Structure 1
Amino acid sequence: MILRRCGARGTVETVKRDVEVFLRSYAPRHGDLGEDAAEPLLAELALIRESRLSGQFEFVRGPKPSLQNGVFALVLKRFWERWHPNAPTLSAEQASYGAGSPGQVFKLDEDSVMARLAKIGEATSGAIVWTDTAGLRQVSLARQLSTIDEVALITNSYPYRRVA
């Protein structure tokens, strides 16, 4: 209905262009584009790539070396608060595959999620801890989620140097 009112052809073309601009802000550029061609800012996240054969865009699942553990911990905390606020534990599967989970948000494979969960205690100053006992892989709360300083998760992930 909205498309008919606004003129379907123009609107469809506009949406197609907008989506392509959005996707290209995440996809690395191919080939030698010269000195003036800047790499898209969000390409470093390695979330989307353009297929060389078809030219279509696809998600990149797997490890994300540029993803800081504090950023992962922040997304895990917010996922926990939103979807499992009263649960004292979260399974590795929930953290990997749940809607809005860090595994889904960052398109991490299961092994990458497990590696990050194994380090979650360091990132959260012990507020969230990883356990892998008798095949039960999960994270549990040592303190309430509300005690985790979200700003500290980020600032500790990106140390800066003061300029004298």
Structure 2
Amino acid sequence: MVQSIRHWGMATGVLEDMGRGETAITALGDKLLGRWDPYLEDSGSLWWLHWQLVNHPEKAAAWHYAFFRWTRQEFTRGELTDALTELAERQQARSKRSTIDRDIDCLIRTYLPGKSSKKGVAEESFDCPLAELGLLRPLQDGDRYAFVVGHKRTLPVLIFGAALLEFVERTRGERQTVALHDVLYGLGSPGQAFKLSENALVELIEAVQEQTGGAIELDDTAGLKQLYLRRPLDPAELLARHYEEQA
């Protein structure tokens, strides 16, 4: 149990490995769980933890692959297991197929509500909080699932804005612009992490633009949609503002 908590804490960015088997809470983890939302009652907290989880490939490879590298909206357990096994073999990783298969099963249970037992409260009935995000749905033919792409009504604007800023800082280099296409489809992008449609993404960016006084601006010149960072802005600032507004 302790090892499991340690692993998921690091995968979601609330814990960090200090070496020699020691673990410490991160500055963000201390603020999130120590002050802002200790019981994860705010939907924004769940979206942020999801964002961190899928962007930690070294700790959550299956999550990162499914959200950013899998190119189809639908999948089966077997298809994802095959794809990740092939990737591991190409990278000469030591991951066994049985381990990958368990990871895919865990991934699905992360985002889908479990089936409660009629005989009482079973362990499987305790759903992962991220199932509330509505990112995944089962299809009628059994072992097939689909990502739910479109508007995410429970995704707060400032939480999205913090994720957007992290992505822009990672990808823009010396440039002051990022193409909207990259924000929607790029590796590690908010569009893919949150499974947004283009319309949903544009609406959120415009809302962030308004909330930040134009620090982030979406411009459409000659049919090319670009995101401009007009002034430096810290993602942590937007996170703090979100929780201040909820207090």
> Deviation at 1:118?
1.6
- Report the RMSD for the aligned CA atoms in angstroms: 2.7
Aligned-partner Cα distance in 1 for 2:117–2:198: 35
Pairing of 1:68-79 with structure 2 (within 5 A): 68-79=156-167
Residue number in structure 2 paired with 1:103: 191
CA contact (8 A) 1:131 1:137 kept: yes
> Deviation at 1:160?
3.2
Change in 2 beyond 3 A, CA 1:13/1:139? closer
Aligned-partner Cα distance in 1 for 2:224–2:98: 50
Q: Does 1:93 align with 2:93?
A: no
CA contact (8 A) 1:44 1:66 kept: no
Aligned-partner Cα distance in 2 for 1:112–1:121: 14
> Deviation at 1:54?
2.4
Letter in 2 for 1:149: D
Aligned-partner Cα distance in 2 for 1:123–1:109: 21
Residue number in structure 2 paired with 1:149: 234
Which is helix-richer, 1 or 2? 2
For structure 1, the 5+ residue unaligned runs are: 1-10
> Deviation at 1:137?
2.2
- Identity among equivalent positions (%) equals 34
Q: Secondary structure, in 3 states, of the residue corresponding to 2:240?
A: helix
Letter in 2 for 1:137: K
Residue number in structure 2 paired with 1:80: 168
CA contact (8 A) 2:217 2:228 kept: yes
Residue number in structure 2 paired with 1:19: 104
Letter in 1 for 2:111: Y
Aligned-partner Cα distance in 2 for 1:88–1:153: 19
CA contact (8 A) 1:70 1:124 kept: no
CA contact (8 A) 2:214 2:230 kept: yes
Aligned-partner Cα distance in 2 for 1:121–1:33: 46
> Deviation at 1:134?
4.5
Residue number in structure 1 paired with 2:42: none
For structure 2, the 5+ residue unaligned runs are: 1-95
1:14-46 residue CA offsets vs partner (Å, 9 max, x unmatched):
54334312321211346x756843443101222
Pairing of 1:110-121 with structure 2 (within 5 A): 110-121=198-209
Letter in 2 for 1:102: P
Q: Does 1:136 align with 2:224?
A: yes
> Deviation at 1:128?
1.0
1:29-81 residue CA offsets vs partner (Å, 9 max, x unmatched):
46x75684344310122222222322323322211111112222222212221
Aligned-partner Cα distance in 1 for 2:221–2:170: 26
Residue number in structure 2 paired with 1:160: 246
Q: Does 1:53 align with 2:141?
A: yes
Aligned-partner Cα distance in 2 for 1:60–1:42: 14
Give the TM-score, by structure 2 length: 0.52
Change in 2 beyond 3 A, CA 1:53/1:151? same
Change in 2 beyond 3 A, CA 1:52/1:40? farther
Aligned-partner Cα distance in 1 for 2:235–2:158: 9
Aligned-partner Cα distance in 2 for 1:15–1:98: 24
Letter in 2 for 1:87: R
> Deviation at 1:108?
0.9
